[in-house]
Amino acid sequence: MPVILAIESSCDDTSASICVDGIILSNVIANQTIHQAYGGVVPELASRVHQQNIVPAVAQALSVAKVSKNDVNAVAFTRGPGLLGSLLVGVSFAKAFALAKNLPLIEVNHMQAHVLAHFIAEKKPSFPFLCLTVSGGHTQIVLVNDYFDMQVIGQTTDDAAGEAMDKTSKILGLPYPGGPLIDKYARLGNRDAYKFPEPQIPGLDFSFSGLKTAILYFIQDNVKLNPNFIEENINDICASVEYRIATILLNKLKKAADEYGIKDVALAGGVSANTGLRQGLLQLGEQYGWNCFIPQMQYCTDNAAMIAIAGYHKYLKGDFVGQDVAPLARMPI
């Protein structure tokens, strides 16, 4: 019955989790509010706050799980991808803890962990399955053949879907983080109020840079005509933008499902918390007979529980790394 301590520090959330025999017993996430004043994550500030948060987060994770540090059998950590300074804090803590207790170390790919978050719940997808992994930095369609046999079959050629939402929130003057606010306002708006273009990218790849530009020009043109345009139409704007981003993502996912003949389809990453995208996937599932899998909200954004479940399956394989391991800002699946 292996006890895994997991650490996640890839961006601005400091998280620690305890997994016992494949069951998540705690998932502590310490958010950083300091970035709100800057309208986005400041890497240097993020790494400094990680240093403040990591010891309390681990202590709380152990306490909630009712596990002693002496019971831990291995330490799993996010090696990458992510912000180098943030990763360095988590990697250094994991190495120090493992060295002090003479425990094995398990490196985890952050993007693989998002996919493997689906194995926390009782209802799990069957291999092979497709996973649409969407966040502020990544947009991918992943063919998942096994726990660690994953192939990216489609990805963004420029900006990520989450970045398009973040950019839209800035254009609209919404405070950081804007994604949840776009989701909130979209629930009150008409998604057909405004029409935004869908990029015509061949294959299974995505592009969002052109959409971002189209949204910017649309807002600028309408504000020139009516200075109160954003305030008066915020719900419809958000609903229309959210709907276009969701349809771009889901249309490519549908194409991938057809090409590969796969019925188990999953959603992962921070943007998978978006209500419109979640509902859109479920509607496609009903229409085409898919088995759809969407993580609980706490496992959508960056969290250590997904690192823990990935670490657990690596532990079963005996897949460990040495103390010379270093963080990787770029770490493809």
Q: Which CATH class is domain 3-115+302-317?
A: alpha beta
Q: What are phi and psi of 76, to 5 degrees?
A: -105, 145
| Cβ atoms 90, 7 nearer than 8 A | yes
Spatial distance between the Cα atoms of 77 and 61, rounded to a whole number of angstroms: 14
Q: What is the pTM of this model?
A: 0.95
Closest among 236, 316, 242 to 279, alpha carbons compared? 242
Q: In this predicted model, what pLDDT tens digit does every residue of 123-163 receive, in sequence order?
A: 899 999 999 999 878 899 999 999 999 999 999 999 999 99
Please check whether residue 26 is in contact with residue 17, taking contact to mean a CB–CB distance below 8 angstroms. Answer: yes
Alpha carbon of residue 256 to chain centroid: 20
Burial (CB count <10 Å: 0-12, 13-18, 19+), residue 5? buried
pLDDT of the chain, 333 residues: tens digit per residue? 899 999 999 998 999 999 999 999 999 999 877 677 667 777 888 899 899 999 999 999 999 999 999 999 999 999 999 999 999 999 999 999 999 999 999 999 999 999 999 999 888 999 999 999 998 788 999 999 999 999 999 999 999 999 999 999 999 999 888 889 999 999 999 999 999 999 989 999 999 999 999 999 999 999 999 999 999 999 999 999 999 999 999 999 999 999 999 999 999 998 999 999 999 999 999 999 999 999 999 999 999 999 999 999 999 999 999 999 999 999 888
Calpha distance 249→245 (Å, rounded):
6
User: 125-294 — its CATH code?
Assistant: 3.30.420.40
Residues of the chain with CATH 3.30.420.40: 3-115+302-317, 125-294
